A and B are shown apart, each in its own frame.
Chain A
Amino acid sequence: DQQVKQNSPSLSVQEGRISILNCDYTNSMFDYFLWYKKYPAEGPTFLISISSIKDKNEDGRFTVFLNKSAKHLSLHIVPSQPGDSAVYFCAASVYSGNTPLVFGKGTRLSVIA
C-alpha cells in the first residue's frame, strides 16, 4: 500500500518557467510533509517542509502548497534553473519523532536551457 504517491515519473520544463511537482498521500494521520532533492551519486538533500497547520510555505524560489482536504501537496519552483534538474522526492510523517518518513517514488525534473 503506497501511502505517498508521485504519479509523474518525469517532468520537463524550460528554463525560467514554473515547475510544478505533485504528490498525493492516503494516510490522514500524516501531519508533516517534506520535499527532498537528489542528484546522481549523491544522497537526497532536504529542500523544504510544511506542517499540516499551514497551507503554504515559501523559501526563495521554492514554495510548497498543502491541500489537506484533497490530501495533496505540490512543490512550485519559480523560475526554474538548469541546476534544478534532479529527482524530487515527496515525504510525509506523523510528527511524533517515532515514525519514519514515508517517501514517494520520486519525479525526475529536467530543466531545459
Chain B
Amino acid sequence: EAGVTQSPTHLIKTRGQQATLRCSPISGHTSVYWYQQALGLGLQFLLWYDEGEERNRGNFPPRFSGRQFPNYSSELNVNALELEDSALYLCASLKDAGSLPFDTFGSGTRLTVV
C-alpha cells in the first residue's frame, strides 16, 4: 500500500511569488492534514481537509490556503511568499477524522524562499 506522497520534493521560489504543494493521501483515506516545520520549531498545524471541506486551520495568515479534490488529494497554496515561509511542509492522512494517530507523514516538500 502506497503511503502519503508529496510533490515536489524541493521548491525554490522568490519572495512575493506563489507556491503550490501537492499531497496524495493513502488510498481510502479522506482526511488530509498539512503541517509546517520551520527551522528550530516543531510541526505547526496548518490546515485540515475532510471530504472536500476545510474543517480547521491553524494560526497562519490567509495567504496560506488550499483545497481538497474529489479524489481526496490536496493542494496547499502559499501566496505572497515571505522569507519566513521557508520550511518543510508535511502532509498526513487519516481514514476518517476520528481515527488518530497518523501512521506516517509524507516525506514533505522543502520550500525555500529567496
> Whose C-beta in chain B lies nearest to the C-beta of A45?
B104
- Within B91-114, which residues are at the interface with A (CB < 8 Å)? 92, 96-108
> Whose C-beta in chain B lies nearest to the C-beta of A102?
B45
Tell me the minimal C-beta distance from B2 to chain A in angstroms.
13
> Given contacts A98-B56, A98-B97, A106-B42, are A43 and B33 in contact (CB under 8 A)?
no
Asked if B105 and A44 sit within 8 Å, CB to CB, the answer is yes
Asked if A95 and B42 sit within 8 Å, CB to CB, the answer is no
Whether a CB of chain A sits under 8 angstroms from the CB of B40 is yes
Taking chain B's interface residues, is the majority helix, strand, or loop, or is none over half, making it mixed?
loop
Tell me the minimal C-beta distance from A17 to chain B in angstroms.
26
Whether a CB of chain A sits under 8 angstroms from the CB of B63 is no
A42, A93, A101 — which one has the most chain B CB atoms within 10 A of its CB? A101
Chain B residues in 8 Å Cβ range of A34:
100-101
Cβ-Cβ contact count across A and B, 8 Å cutoff: 62
Taking chain A's interface residues, is the majority helix, strand, or loop, or is none over half, making it mixed?
loop
Query: Considering the chains assembled together, what is the distance between the CA atoms of A24 and B55 in angstroms?
Result: 28
Whether a CB of chain A sits under 8 angstroms from the CB of B48 is yes
> Whose C-beta in chain A lies nearest to the C-beta of B96?
A97
Tell me the minimal C-beta distance from A99 to chain B in angstroms.
7
Asked if B43 and A4 sit within 8 Å, CB to CB, the answer is no
Whether a CB of chain A sits under 8 angstroms from the CB of B81 is no
Asked if B55 and A101 sit within 8 Å, CB to CB, the answer is no
Whether a CB of chain B sits under 8 angstroms from the CB of A32 is yes
**Cross-interface CB contact of A46 among B35, B44, B103, cutoff 8 Å:** B103
Whether a CB of chain A sits under 8 angstroms from the CB of B90 is yes
The 4 closest A-B pairs by CB, nearest first: A43-B105, A97-B98, A103-B42, A100-B45
B interface vs A, CB < 8 Å?
A: 4, 33, 35, 40-45, 48, 55-56, 58, 90, 92, 96-108
